[in-house]
Amino acid sequence: MSKSKTAGWVAAGVLVGVAVGLLGWSATQRRHRLALFHPDKVKRLAALGYLRAHPSVDSARLLRDYLEWEPSPLLRRRARGVLRRTERLLRS
């Protein structure tokens, strides 16, 4: 097999892997959309991703409560970004 064919197969494999990974993360976000206060940090991160994709007045209120509760600085920072984005979208 030539080098160009091998490179093509590698590129196709990477693209398929990325697509499968994105689909898997999207499914995780949907599955854990109500897990914002769950003990598992990954589930809370997935819930933040879901709220980012579905901005609403209710999600902004929920995020404010979540920011007071969240013990992880990384997730608090992520939630602040999601809240700022949500508020910006609701104002426009």
Q: How many domains does the chain have?
A: 1
Question: Is-contact 69 37, C-beta < 8 A?
Answer: yes
pLDDT of residue 71: 96
End-to-end, the C-alpha distance of the chain in Å comes to 55
Identify the residue whose tokens are 């999207």: 26
Mean pLDDT per 10-residue run, the chain (92 residues)?
80 88 71 83 92 92 95 97 96 90
Q: Domain of residue 79: give its range.
A: 3-91
pLDDT of residue 65: 94
Nearest to 47 by CA among 75, 7, 85, 6: 75
* 3-state SS assignment for residue 61: helix
